[in-house]
Amino acid sequence: MGGNTFGKIFKITTFGESHGLAVGVVVDGVPAGMPLSEADVQRELDRRRPGQSILTTQRKERDKVEILSGVFKGRTIGTPICMIVRNLDVDSRPYEKVRTKPRPGHADLTYWLKYGHVDYRGGGRSSARETIGRVAAGAVAKKLLAAYGVEILGHTVEAAGVAIDRQPTLKEIKRNVEKNPVRCAIPEKAEMMLKAILQAAAEGDSTGGVVEVQAHGVPAGLGEPVFGKLDAEIAAAMMSIGSVKAVVIGEGDKLARLRGSEANDAIVIRKGRIVTATNRAGGVLGGISTGMPIVVRLMVKPTPSISKPQRTVDLVKMEEAEISLEGRFDPNICPRIVPVAEAMLALVLADHMIRAGKINPDRFV
């Protein structure tokens, strides 16, 4: 199986399956001399860890990270950083009943069609546990970016059909997102989202939504004019996250319904800097960053694991069948996608900043 490595200079390779011994990541291209501890990584992993609230699978995993290489006496040494998280609360029994019956909405069928064999235990490689490696690597990228003034923030803007009715301020995002299980920056909307999610869950169903991730302090000039466009690589990064079915940069979909005079961001001078008066483009023009905030929205489909009966086929008997899933599922995956989306944006930006000469690839700051 290919396709497990992401990035050009700042590169990551994730490994492991949901019910295997461990999952993890190898991060290459981190400059030497950057302070890094397991606590730095653990903070981010704790945000995506299961069992934190009624909106996440109740699989009880500590998700404790172990750094195996690339760090000495609290600093990176310029060599590959290998991090693992051991799988402890594994229960494969519910999956034995459906091992020959691909679950609708999951990758079971496509893995079987491609490889003729699939790890049916919790989705195997296609499980959301694969994102542990991404979040761990993203923690490293975030720390590197922070040293250069780049901050990344994510939040849920829609869930179970309930959407925010205004753009929250940065202060609201920082203050409120981690205070509710939906990770919505507007408390009253968070309560409405939670109620709608739980109502669907009580009916044996799941819901989807929209997650937004922003990057502030990004310098102008990141990205290449044609095939290495910054927004193209951001979109690819976000689309690589399971359950993400569409990506919007800036006001992307809305721009399709505007006139040019409405869609274009006016160019102005503010405090001696050339900026745009608005940011409908989401911080990228011609595939190159403008210096304005990067704004990305991810459309997240409903969690495919539901307890309602669903139609499928038996791959051995080659006949149609019906399944009702048992196990521990997220009724809405948006809250746990927030830290994953932040990580993927951090990875793209760290890679591009090194490629653009904004970060010394050999030595920290």
Both tokens assigned to 39: 């606590």
The reply to whether 362 falls in a domain is: no
| Residue 185 burial by Cβ neighbours in a 10 Å radius (0-12, 13-18, 19+) | buried
CB 270, CB 207: distance < 8 Å = no
* CB contact set of 263 (below 8 Å; sequence gap of 6+): 251, 255, 280
Virtual torsion, Cα 352, 357, 361, 365, nearest 10 deg: -110
The torsion angles phi and psi of 230, rounded to 5 degrees, stand at -60, -45
Maximum C-alpha span of the chain: 71
CATH of the domain at 333: 3.60.150.10
CB 132, CB 341: distance < 8 Å = no
3-state SS assignment for residue 347: helix
**Cα distance between residue 337 and residue 242, in whole Å:** 9
Q: For every one of its 365 residues, what pLDDT tens digit does the chain have, with 9 covering 90 and above?
A: 578 999 999 999 999 988 889 999 999 999 999 999 999 999 999 998 866 666 655 555 679 999 999 999 999 999 999 999 999 877 777 777 788 888 899 999 998 898 887 788 877 788 889 999 999 999 999 999 999 999 999 999 999 999 999 999 999 999 999 999 999 999 999 999 999 999 999 999 999 999 999 999 999 999 999 999 999 999 999 999 999 999 999 999 899 999 999 999 999 999 999 999 999 999 999 999 999 999 999 999 999 988 899 999 999 899 999 988 876 678 999 999 999 999 999 999 999 999 999 999 999 98
| Strands 151-159, 310-314: pairing kind | unpaired
The reply to whether 365 falls in a domain is: no
Structurally, the chain folds into a number of domains equal to 1
The reply to whether 360 falls in a domain is: no
Residues facing 83 on adjacent strands: 25, 67
Range of the domain at 296: 5-355
The reply to whether 127 falls in a domain is: yes
Sign (positive/negative) of CA torsion 300, 177, 135, 352? Answer: positive
The reply to whether 35 falls in a domain is: yes
* CB contact set of 305 (below 8 Å; sequence gap of 6+): 103, 105, 106, 206, 325, 327, 329, 330
> Model pTM?
0.94
3-state SS assignment for residue 169: coil
Position 146, amino acid = A
CB 18, CB 124: distance < 8 Å = yes
CB 293, CB 218: distance < 8 Å = yes
The reply to whether 175 falls in a domain is: yes
Q: Which helix (H) or strand (E) holds 230?
A: helix 230-239
The reply to whether 29 falls in a domain is: yes
The reply to whether 279 falls in a domain is: yes
Q: Which helix (H) or strand (E) holds 85?
A: strand 81-86
